[in-house]
Amino acid sequence: MQARMQHPALLIPEAMKALLTLSKVIRKQGLPQATIELVQLRVSQINGSSVCVAGNARSAAAAGATVEQRSAVAAWRNTPCFTAAERSALALAEAATRLADRPDPVPKAIWDEAAKHFTERELAALVLAIGAANMFNRINITTRRIAGAQPWES
């Protein structure tokens, strides 16, 4: 497998700066770093972005997510290693990623459960983190980024 092109954000430096700024801002809003990384790992699994799955798994480990959590995130409903807050974040991530799978893509019950565990600012950061992961997945899948290489490499 070969990448189709250099990462688009490398070709448009202003885009790279904006993407890095967005990531930094999301991570400063009070959400646990491990939660952000687990959510982004789950989004990448759903979308099938191999380069993002590999990168998100490394980031989740660095943020303190356990081996069990990283290994079981795709089956989070059926394992006891996630907190109620993490479960609500993962449910929101799945709903917001699979928008076309149901008539009400993000049901009230999923939103309300997340709102029990996170402040409005943290929810905003969570929604942005989910959206950013989806965007990175689409960029990397479209350009056929290679798992095992750094996402920004050509």
Domains, the chain, ranges and CATH? 30-142 (1.20.1290.10)
> Quick one: angle between helices 33-47 and 50-62, nearest 10?
160
Average model confidence (pLDDT) across the chain: 93
Q: What is the pLDDT of residues 80-135, one digit of tens each?
A: 999 999 999 999 999 999 999 889 999 999 999 999 999 999 999 999 999 999 99
**Tokens 């309300």, located at residue:** 112
DSSP symbols for 107-120: -HHHHHHHHHHS-H
Task: Say what the pLDDT of residue 1 is.
Answer: 73
Tokens coding 146? 């290679």
Task: Say what the pLDDT of residue 101 is.
Answer: 86
User: 12 pLDDT exceeds 80?
Assistant: yes
**pTM value?**
0.92
